[in-house]
């Protein structure tokens, strides 16, 4: 049977998402005992003791379906964010919400705009939707080029995805620039501002998008429990938007999309504001340290507002990625973002992991300079 013929045509061109390599896979493949993973922008600190406790209790009720309306987490987010409850939609990770948005709104002939390189899921959901994706290159400062994106908007544009801060660059656009963008695009163009790394940001001119919701009914803000809240494995994220948009998403989401363990874990993690602040401070100090050390080794490292950095090594990025795998260090090459930029993305780890990363990169660079001097 020819399943390709049976499938919708637009699906055939979709290239599956390439996640960071799992630790166990590398251990198996290369017989390595000590592997560190700095490839998926996860929080290197595990879930908090309080979260582990509610998870253990929750496990005892796994025979039951979850609360389909996610009542307690909804209420807690309402208080936490100080927004109307009707504005909040909770999904199985913010990625689920991106899938829903593209599928609910993009009609045949319409387009969806995103930056490149940026979070690869925007391209994938655009391709899966009935519309067509348009990728707009980032600017020379490695930021989303919001002016170029606004110029790309036409009467067929339905959705624009903006990662702020961006992944893989870690750069952000200021409140002024994003506001100008929101003022420029017509209000029938939906603008999804993905703030997955929101809690790490310490730039004073970063936009407070929640305050703009009344002014811009076309604004959708996305956040996640996968990053600072240490819950990537549970898959829970949320959006804040106009209530009428929420009711459309509610119609198409799968029932029970937020599982019961995610609900109790996220509810507990949300209350741990001191932990979040501490992890953010520690991450940002560690990120600056990693960036400085890599710069000392001759790498160009972009300023980041997230829990990762984008670095241009003085050698081929794919070779560096593979050589680091051999040494038990998993990072992310830019190829997985559909760009040929000679760069890699490195997540901030625990102190020991960061030290090992820097030592391993130093070792790699010195090996490559001695092999190039002996071959010349
Ligand atoms: C910009 C951006 N948005 C969303 C996500 C994923 O979020 P979630 O785990 O909530 O689906 C990521 C994860 O890497 C990301 O970088």
CA of residue 28 to ligand 1 center, whole Å: 27
Number of folded domains that form the chain = 2
281 lies in the same domain as 264: no
203 lies in the same domain as 101: yes
CA of residue 345 to ligand 1 center, whole Å: 15
207 lies in the same domain as 78: yes
Mean local confidence (pLDDT), 63-84: 98
Taking phi over 0 as left and psi of -120 to 50 as alpha, with beta for the rest, 305 belongs to alpha
What CATH number does residue 31 fall under?
A: 3.90.1150.10
337 lies in the same domain as 358: yes
262 lies in the same domain as 290: no
For residue 224, which atom of ligand 1 is closest to its CA?
A: 10
227 lies in the same domain as 265: yes
Give the C-alpha separation, 242 to 240, whole Å.
7
Share the mean pLDDT of the chain: 95
Among residues 256, 250, 257, the alpha carbon closest in space to that of 235 is found at 257
For residue 225, which atom of ligand 1 is closest to its CA?
A: 10
For 251-274, b/e burial (b = at least 16 CB within 10 A) is: eebeeebbbbbbbbbbbbbbebee
Mean local confidence (pLDDT), 62-72: 97
Cβ neighbours of residue 315 closer than 8 Å, sequence gap 6 or more: 364, 365, 368
Mean local confidence (pLDDT), 272-295: 98
Domain of 41? 14-46+274-375
The last residue of one of the domains, among 222, 256, 271, is 271
Q: Where are the alpha helices (H) located in the chain, listed in sequence order?
A: 3-6, 9-12, 23-30, 49-59, 71-81, 94-105, 121-128, 146-152, 175-184, 243-252, 260-270, 273-296, 317-326, 351-375
Pairing, β 111-116 against β 157-163? parallel
pLDDT band at 77 (very low <50, low <70, confident <90, very high): very high
Judge whether residue 374 has pLDDT over 90: no
**Which helix H or strand E contains 190, and what residues bound it?**
strand 190-194
Whether ligand 1 lies within 6 angstroms of the CB of 167 is answered as yes
Residue-wise pLDDT for 96-107, tens only, equals: 999 999 999 999
In a domain? residue 6: no
Whether ligand 1 lies within 6 angstroms of the CB of 168 is answered as no
In a domain? residue 4: no
- Helix pair angle (351-375, 317-326), 10° resolution: 120
22 lies in the same domain as 141: no
Token match 């950095």: residue? 309
118 lies in the same domain as 199: yes
Q: What are phi and psi of 130, to 5 degrees?
A: -80, -5
Mean local confidence (pLDDT), 251-270: 98
Whether ligand 1 lies within 6 angstroms of the CB of 94 is answered as yes
122 lies in the same domain as 261: yes
Residue 352, burial from CB neighbour count under 10 angstroms (0-12, 13-18, 19+) = exposed
- Percent of the chain with pLDDT strictly greater than 70: 99
At 346, is the secondary structure helix, strand, or coil? strand
Residue-wise pLDDT for 20-55, tens only, equals: 889 999 999 888 889 999 999 999 999 999 999 999
217 lies in the same domain as 350: no
Which residue's CA lies nearest to atom 2 of ligand 1?
Answer: 196
For 14, half-sphere exposure in the C-beta direction (CA atoms, 13 angstrom radius) is 22
245 lies in the same domain as 350: no
Q: What are phi and psi of 301, to 5 degrees?
A: -125, 130
């Amino acid at each position: 049977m020819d399943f390709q013929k049976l499938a919708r045509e637009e699906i055939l061109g979709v290239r599956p998402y390439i996640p960071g390599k799992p630790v166990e896979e590398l251990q198996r493949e290369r017989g390595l005992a000590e592997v560190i993973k700095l490839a998926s922008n996860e929080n290197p600190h595990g879930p908090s003791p309080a979260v582990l406790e509610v998870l253990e209790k929750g496990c005892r009720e796994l025979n039951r379906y979850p609360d389909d309306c996610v009542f307690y987490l909804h209420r807690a987010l309402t208080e936490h964010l100080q927004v109307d409850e009707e504005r909040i939609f909770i999904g199985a990770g913010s990625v689920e919400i991106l899938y829903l948005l593209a599928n609910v709104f993009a009609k045949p002939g319409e387009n969806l705009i995103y930056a490149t390189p940026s979070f690869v899921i925007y391209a994938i959901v655009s391709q899966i939707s009935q519309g067509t994706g348009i990728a707009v290159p980032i600017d020379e400062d490695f930021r989303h080029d919001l002016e170029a994106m606004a110029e790309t908007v036409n009467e067929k544009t339905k959705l624009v995805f903006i990662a702020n801060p961006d992944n893989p660059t870690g750069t952000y656009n200021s409140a002024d620039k994003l506001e100008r963008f929101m003022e420029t695009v017509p209000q029938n163009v939906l603008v999804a501002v993905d703030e997955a790394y929101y809690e790490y940001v310490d730039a004073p001119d970063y936009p407070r998008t929640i305050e703009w919701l009344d002014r811009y009914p076309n604004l959708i803000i996305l956040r996640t429990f996968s990053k600072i809240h240490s819950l990537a494995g549970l898959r829970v994220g949320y959006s804040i938007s106009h209530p009428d948009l929420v009711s459309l998403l509610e119609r198409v989401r799968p029932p029970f999309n937020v599982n019961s363990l995610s609900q109790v874990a996220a509810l507990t993690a949300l209350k741990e504001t001191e932990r979040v602040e501490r992890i953010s401070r520690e991450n940002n100090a560690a990120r600056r340290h990693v960036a400085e050390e890599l710069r000392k080794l001759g790498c160009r490292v972009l300023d980041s507002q997230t829990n990762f950095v984008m670095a241009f090594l003085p050698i081929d990025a794919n070779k560096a990625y593979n050589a680091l795998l051999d040494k038990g260090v998993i990072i992310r090459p830019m190829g997985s973002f559909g760009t040929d930029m000679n760069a890699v993305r490195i997540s901030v780890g625990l102190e020991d992991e960061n030290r090992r990363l820097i030592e391993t990169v130093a070792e790699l660079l010195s090996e490559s300079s001695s092999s190039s001097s002996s071959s010349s």
